[in-house]
Amino acid sequence: DAGVTQSPTHLIKTRGQQVTLRCSPISGHKSVSWYQQVLGQGPQFIFQYYEKEERGRGNFPDRFSARQFPNYSSELNVNALLLGDSALYLCASRPRDGYEQYFGPGTRLTVT
């Protein structure tokens, strides 16, 4: 079975630009979460969506937004990019029964 997929793999943007990252969950999983991981730190929670509704938001500015589509895939958008947004962005999906989450390979974003 395919795992969580994310695109693109790598991305280089300039300060002030906008970026959209994409994620497809494991088949049958309806919950998608986004995390940001900067070098030397554990992943930090950004958003969780379930059945197209936002179920939680971490301590990130309003420049970060997300949505989930009817097929349960998801997009993360970041506006007005800052150098500090450079990180690995991870998407994870969760089965209906259980709290564990399974991660995709991530999108490595570099802001110059």
The site for other proteins (CB under 8 A) is made up of 31, 33, 35, 40-45, 48, 50, 53-56, 58, 90, 92, 94, 99-106
Nearer to other proteins, 45 or 64 (CB): 45
- In the bound complex, what is the minimum distance in angstroms from residue 19's beta carbon to other proteins? 19
For CA atoms 65, 38, 72, 60, the dihedral sign is negative
Nearer to other proteins, 14 or 84 (CB): 84
Best CA proximity match to 5, nearest among 20, 28, 27, 36: 27
Whether the ω angle into residue 95 lies within 30 degrees of 0, i.e. cis, is: no
- In the bound complex, what is the minimum distance in angstroms from residue 99's beta carbon to other proteins? 4
- In the bound complex, what is the minimum distance in angstroms from residue 104's beta carbon to other proteins? 6
Report the alpha-carbon distance of residue 51 to residue 20 in Å, rounded.
20
